[in-house]
Amino acid sequence: MRFWVALGFGLVCFSAAGLASARSFRVSDIPNGGKFSCVACHGELEAKTFNDFGSLALANLEGTGIPQEKHASWAGLCPTDPDEDGITSGEELGDPDCVWQRGNPDPAGSATNPGIPSGAAGQNCGDDLLQSSEECDGALLGYERCIDLHFGAGDLKCTSECSYDYSDCTDPPGEEDPLPEEAGCNFSRGGARGSSIALLLLVLLSRKWRSKTGFSKKG
């Protein structure tokens, strides 16, 4: 009985994972899809979540078979504006008249990501080109080592928003312990700890001196 329950649970998890994972063939379902790869629908290089354009693409699948094998309908996506920036997906991807079809050459000219509002940070994130507004893009990094940015040893990585991931750094930013508000001091972490240690040593030395001399408050 336990075997069949475990098997059924495993199949459910496997099916769910399949639905959530990226389908690389769908990159060719939209014009200029290769410029953004999976980031057009997922908003991240790892393709773990869907942005609004990706959710709309899932709602506009066509063809027969299981959902994982279906293509996205460009005719259904083209006139929409899922990122609500006032520009249709067709206009963003270079097909304002919605005449492009799967298998046609990509429209000429520039293209913007239909899943990110125009002008927002990271608009070109995921195109494997390092823009002036990006710290990194995929495997391209402005700096590669944590020490280059004074964050200790380790290697920098890139997030899905094209900013540095400091998780491998030995001294990442924002890791200082906040001081209690009631303390009312402006010491840095090092200064506060240094003062506490000095006070503790002073108390210990005072107690040792009293025990040797026999001095007490009673006199």
Q: Per-residue pLDDT tens for 60-93?
A: 999 888 988 899 999 999 999 998 889 999 999 9
Pick the residue with more confidence: 30 or 36?
A: 30
Element (H, E) at 141: strand 140-141
Cα Dmax for the chain: 100
CB atoms within 10 A of CB 213: 8
Q: Which of 31, 38, 39, 34 is nearest to 97 (CA)?
A: 31
Per-residue confidence band for 170, with pLDDT thresholds at 50, 70 and 90: very high
Per-residue confidence band for 183, with pLDDT thresholds at 50, 70 and 90: very low
Segment 189-214 shows an average pLDDT of 59
Q: Which of 13-22, 111-120, 172-181 shows the lowest mean pLDDT across its residues?
A: 13-22
Q: List the alpha helices (DSSP H) in 62-118.
A: 74-77, 89-92
Residues making up the chain, counted from first to last: 219
- Look up the pTM and report it: 0.49
Structural contact between residues 170 and 146, judged by C-beta atoms closer than 8 angstroms = yes
- How far, CA to CA in Å, does 75 sit from each of 68, 71, 82, 114, 182? 19, 12, 14, 15, 61
Q: pLDDT value at position 4?
A: 39
Rounded Cα distance between 30 and 53, Å, is 11
User: Is residue 41 scored above 70 in pLDDT?
Assistant: yes
User: Is residue 184 scored above 70 in pLDDT?
Assistant: no
pLDDT digits (tens, 9 = 90+) for 48-58: 788 889 899 99
Per-residue confidence band for 97, with pLDDT thresholds at 50, 70 and 90: very high
Q: Which of 83, 85, 57 is nearest to 70 (CA)?
A: 57
Rounded Cα distance between 82 and 21, Å, is 20
Q: pLDDT value at position 203?
A: 65
Structural contact between residues 170 and 156, judged by C-beta atoms closer than 8 angstroms = no
Per-residue confidence band for 210, with pLDDT thresholds at 50, 70 and 90: low
Pick the residue with more confidence: 216 or 14?
A: 216
Pick the residue with more confidence: 79 or 161?
A: 79
User: Is residue 204 scored above 90 in pLDDT?
Assistant: no
Rounded Cα distance between 115 and 86, Å, is 12
Computed from CA positions of residues 9, 12, 14, 20, in that sequence, does the dihedral angle turn out positive or negative?
negative
What's the start-to-end Cα distance of the chain, in Å? 80
Tokens of 176: 């200082």
